[in-house]
Structure 1
Amino acid sequence: MRHLSHDISHILDNWDYDPAKSYRKIMGDNGREKVQIRVDNAAFQGVLQMELDGRPDGRQPYGYDFALDYYRQALQRYEQTHGNQPGFELDEESCVELFDESLRIYNRYVFLLQLQDYTRVVRDTKRNMELFRFVNAHAHRESDRNKLERWWPYIIRINATAGALLVMEEGQDFDSALQVVNQAIERIESLEELDVEEFRSERERSLKALAEMQESIHEHKPLSAAEKLQVRLDEAVQDERFEDAARLRDVLKDFQQGEPDSQL
């Protein structure tokens, strides 16, 4: 029988630590893409590994891709037996399991945001939002129901940030990107107030960050034909070129009525 070595020196010897290139994507033996991070921590050398799809740790709790999927299925089985009667609850142990899964997904999407893998960030933030709602709706203990609620401003912000950047990346669609950001701001502003410091500070931080992103998109958005006309009109008025201003004003009026002037 071949002896299985636990020594990872052969991996470390072929991957020198470089802070600027501390991670790499690989294809795992299971055919799934993974990320590896080279670690140099004082006397310790090592490699961290994370799955890009499914659970970050690669586990399949109860045979499901996620623990959340298992508990959702348990809820469906309960409803098939009991109808819509109340009674399905997550006990403390189940909540701890879901909190752990949520934290693992959080750590992954924070890392993926740095990698600019916006599609997966949107996916992971959506999954964690679903987990937030599920725990809040079904946890037996009030403390468990409320544990994740403080993080809504943050997760809405990260979801919107990745969503807007994805739209920009795919097609330079400034209007759609602005819509994503605007909707996120409205969602955060409409959240029910929580008397928790993390909620208050993160709401303020998230609204500020989204407002800055909103401004940045506006700054980079190309001017429409009507906006270009308005700029020329403003310049003509400022320079006291009143005949040009009058002509541009008429052209702008026609343009806004759907009759653009061909003399531009």
Structure 2
Amino acid sequence: MPKRIQHLDRYLSDWPFVPGQVMVREVKGSDGRPLLQLRVDMGIIQLEVSGRPDGEKPEGFDTYYDSLLSQSFADGPAFQLDHDSCREIDREFYQFYHRRVCWLTLNRYDEAVRDADHTLALMDFSTANSPDPHWTLMHEQYRPFVMFHKIQALTLIQLEKSNHRGAVEAIDEGLSALQKLFDAHSSAEESDEDTLLDKLRDMKSSIAKHYDVGPSLAEQLAQAIASEQYELAAKLRDRLDKGPQN
């Protein structure tokens, strides 16, 4: 019986790695299911497009987060995360980061938002049940970055719909959420704050200029309050609360 080939020479040579470039492609599995592949230095990462990116089903659930939720409801106040749980959470964070980057690279923004929401929900759960503040910080330091990716994706979804004002308003809403987060955690690095906020402001300015979009709802609200047009301000606030409209 011929020995099964185990090396990856052909796969790596057919898809050369380019430093500094995010390299993603969509392929089909042996059963025809859709897959994502991410080229990294010295290898290729393959990811499922739904559920947990590695294809595992922890305790029969689509993701480890879903398994933890079920366990926490079953255990009630006695529920706690142990060392093994924290390790599995770390794995899931890392896997969803890779897939989120893939979706953004492929301009698949709905999927990017979905995976960002999963990461943020897992982060909320981990922080609420963390056995170690240092472990909590290890993940929480990336919350602004995950939010940034989600804001970008939500904005680009609106642009794909030619809803240019909705795109600007999505950025405004994201800027407000990020600023509140930074204000609540004064220990965050100022340079990181400035970088993310400035990138979103530049994106907003570019969209507004390119598509000739007038003042956003947030800007109109500020102007209405400044000029004491409180009835108009109330209407604008209601529209802001509803979020970007199609």
Question: TM-score, structure 1 length as denominator?
Answer: 0.69
Query: Where do residues 78-157 of structure 1 align in structure 2 (5 Å cutoff)?
Result: 78-79=75-76, 86-157=77-148
Cα pair 2:164 2:213 within 8 Å, conserved = no
Cα distance, 1:54–1:118 mapped onto 2, change above 3 Å: same
Query: Match of 1:236?
Result: none
CA deviations over 1:191-248 (Å, ceiling 9, x no partner): 1114244xx4322211111111111121122468xxxxxxxxxxxxxxxxxxxxxxxx
1:167 corresponds to which letter in structure 2? Q
Q: What is the CA–CA distance in structure 1 between the aligned matches of 2:17 and 2:128, rounded to whole Å?
A: 46
Structure 1 residue runs of 5 or longer lacking an equivalent are 80-85, 225-264
Query: Where do residues 164-179 of structure 1 align in structure 2 (5 Å cutoff)?
Result: 164-169=155-160, 171-179=161-169
CA deviations over 1:85-141 (Å, ceiling 9, x no partner): x43221232122112211111122123212212111111111100011000111122
Query: Match of 1:51?
Result: 48
Cα deviation for residue 63 of structure 1 reads 2.0
Q: What is the CA–CA distance in structure 2 between the aligned matches of 1:6 and 1:135, rounded to whole Å?
A: 38
1:218 corresponds to which letter in structure 2? A
CA RMSD of superposed structures (Å): 2.7
2:154 corresponds to which letter in structure 1? G
Q: Which has the larger radius of gyration?
A: 1
Cα pair 2:36 2:102 within 8 Å, conserved = no
Query: Match of 1:228?
Result: none
Cα distance, 1:193–1:29 mapped onto 2, change above 3 Å: same
Q: Secondary structure at the match of 2:143?
A: helix
Structure having greater relative contact order (Cα 8 Å, sep ≥ 6): 2
1:123 corresponds to which letter in structure 2? R
> Which piece of structure 1 moves more, 214-223 or 121-130?
214-223
Query: Match of 1:160?
Result: 151
Query: Where do residues 1-264 of structure 1 align in structure 2 (5 Å cutoff)?
Result: 4-8=4-8, 11=11, 15=14, 17=16, 19=18, 23-37=24-38, 47-79=44-76, 86-169=77-160, 171-191=161-181, 192-197=184-189, 200-222=190-212
Q: What is the CA–CA distance in structure 2 between the aligned matches of 1:181 and 1:143, rounded to whole Å?
A: 31
Percent of pairs identical after alignment?
27
Question: TM-score, structure 2 length as denominator?
Answer: 0.74
Cα deviation for residue 32 of structure 1 reads 2.7
Cα deviation for residue 53 of structure 1 reads 2.0
Q: What is the CA–CA distance in structure 2 between the aligned matches of 1:221 and 1:208, rounded to whole Å?
A: 20
Cα deviation for residue 6 of structure 1 reads 2.6
Structure 2 residue runs of 5 or longer lacking an equivalent are 215-246
Cα distance, 1:37–1:143 mapped onto 2, change above 3 Å: closer
Number of residue-to-residue matches in the alignment: 210
Cα distance, 1:223–1:97 mapped onto 2, change above 3 Å: closer
2:195 corresponds to which letter in structure 1? R
